[in-house]
Structure 1
Amino acid sequence: MNFNEIQGTYDVIFSLGRNCLAADQLSRHMRRKIGGVLDWVESPALSGVSNLLRNRFSNFMELPNLAITGINDKAECYIVRDAAYYVFSHHDFPLNQNTPTQLVSYPELREKVTRRVPRFLEALRSANRILFIRTEGTIHETAELLDVLQELVSGEFNVLVVNQAPVSGIVETPWPFSNVCALQIPMVPDEFHDNDYLWKNILERFTVR
């Protein structure tokens, strides 16, 4: 699927990671109609996302699976890893509310997950047309993701994969999937801002009902 073919109107657009970039850009450009489960977490491995979807988020961010792995200085939060799915929270555990040995604000995260997961899964069942955006994914990981989404999504869906690469603009990658468009954008020092003009160019081609 090329870039022209994937453009158009969707009922909803969801980010599938790798970090907050896609959700942030969707919000900036008024394309984020419903909050997704993976909007504000880091999911370095797309295979972990596929496994999470395959399991319908079973045991996602359960307390026994969580461990503090660092500090996000910009967010002023602990970085907390979900070992079951290799997903990292960067925004749910403020330094001033938690300690290195106790995740005091965990009930707030649990409430958010409990609210968002059913809403996300219901959208997959009820929407007529869905676009998923993933930053950083390989062709093999994407093939696995498609198999999982086929089991979850009732209507039509497409996937937009955006990878950073040594290119100077937006470059299409010819992947052999009928409902996947793969793009490359430049590798930059600050991925959250330096490619803003390219994300504007990409997202203005889509509308949400």
Structure 2
Amino acid sequence: MELHELKGGYDVLYSLGHNCLPASQLNHSKIRNIAGVIDWMMSPHLSGVSALLRDRFRHVMLWDNLRYHGASSDSGCYVIRDAAYDLYSVHDFPMEDNDPGILESYPGLKQKLDYRANRFLQLMQSGKRIFFLRTEATLHETEELVQVLDDLVAGEYKLLVVNHAQVPYIVQIDYQLPNVCTLLIPEVANIFQDNHTLWRTILEGIYNTMTNEEINAYLLQNYNT
């Protein structure tokens, strides 16, 4: 797909990782209208995300799969890995409130993730047009993800993959996959700050057609959640 083919309105717009960047940039463009399950996690391998979606989130962040992975001075939180899917929580376990062996914040986090997962799955079956954004994905990983999304999404969806590379500007590459647009943008010192202008260009013309309140009201009416 060409970038211009992504332009238009979407019921919901979701981040699929690889870190906080996609959700952050959707926020900056004021088009992120709903919270996803892994918005603020690290998911370095897209295959783990595909497995998570294939499993319909059934095992996300189960206690027995959690591993202590250190601490983040940037977030002030313990880094906790979900070994089943190679996901890393970096914002959910504040060091001042948690012991790394006890993780007092875990029950609240699990409840929140399960709620968001259930909402995600409902929207995959009822949304007419859905937008996904993933940073850092190989061709093989993207092929696998498309197979999972084809099975998961009842309506129309578009997937934008943005990889960082040694390029001077936005460069489009062709993975030759339906519903997928793949771009390269410059590798920079700070991926969260230094490519803002390019991200505004990429996401220009993409917008949401429902507010968060409208989405939740729709789900409440149709799914009694």
Task: Name which of structure 1's ranges 140-149 and 196-205 shifts more when overlaid on structure 2.
Answer: 196-205
- Quote how far apart the aligned CAs of 1:16 are: 0.2
CA contact (8 A) 2:7 2:204 kept: no
Match of 1:92 in 2: 92
State the Cα deviation string for residues 50-73 of structure 1 (Å, max 9, x = none): 000000011110111111101111
Question: Residue 59 of structure 1 aligns to which amino acid in structure 2?
Answer: H
CA contact (8 A) 2:3 2:202 kept: no
Q: Does 1:104 align with 2:104?
A: yes
- Quote how far apart the aligned CAs of 1:38 are: 1.3
Task: Name which of structure 1's ranges 86-95 and 106-115 shifts more when overlaid on structure 2.
Answer: 106-115
**Secondary structure class of the residue paired with 1:92:** coil
Match of 1:44 in 2: 44
CA distance in 2 between partners of 1:91 and 1:22 (Å):
16
CA distance in 2 between partners of 1:190 and 1:20 (Å):
13
Match of 2:117 in 1: 117
- Quote how far apart the aligned CAs of 1:39 are: 0.5
Give the structure-2-normalised TM-score.
Answer: 0.91
**Secondary structure class of the residue paired with 2:207:** strand
Match of 2:56 in 1: 56
Task: Structure 2: state its 5+ residue gaps.
Answer: 210-225
**Secondary structure class of the residue paired with 1:162:** strand
Task: Work out the number of aligned pairs and report it.
Answer: 209
**Identity over the aligned pairs, expressed in percent?**
49
Question: Residue 186 of structure 1 aligns to which amino acid in structure 2?
Answer: P
Match of 2:73 in 1: 73
CA distance in 2 between partners of 1:120 and 1:150 (Å):
15
Match of 2:22 in 1: 22
CA distance in 1 between partners of 2:147 and 2:201 (Å):
29
Match of 2:205 in 1: 205
- Quote how far apart the aligned CAs of 1:74 are: 1.0
CA distance in 2 between partners of 1:191 and 1:202 (Å):
15
**Secondary structure class of the residue paired with 2:132:** strand
> Which consecutive aligned stretches of 4+ in structure 1 deviate over 2 angstroms post-superposition?
none
Matches within 5 A, 1:122-161: 122-161=122-161
Give the structure-1-normalised TM-score.
Answer: 0.98
- Quote how far apart the aligned CAs of 1:88 are: 0.3
- Quote how far apart the aligned CAs of 1:8 are: 1.5
CA distance in 1 between partners of 2:191 and 2:205 (Å):
20
- Quote how far apart the aligned CAs of 1:102 are: 1.7
Task: Structure 1: state its 5+ residue gaps.
Answer: none
**Secondary structure class of the residue paired with 2:134:** strand
State the Cα deviation string for residues 168-203 of structure 1 (Å, max 9, x = none): 111100121121000000001110001111111111
CA distance in 1 between partners of 2:14 and 2:174 (Å):
23
Match of 1:164 in 2: 164
State the Cα deviation string for residues 105-151 of structure 1 (Å, max 9, x = none): 11111111121011011111111011100000011100000000111
- Quote how far apart the aligned CAs of 1:6 are: 1.8
State the Cα deviation string for residues 8-59 of structure 1 (Å, max 9, x = none): 1111110000000000111121111111111011000000000000000111
Matches within 5 A, 1:153-192: 153-192=153-192
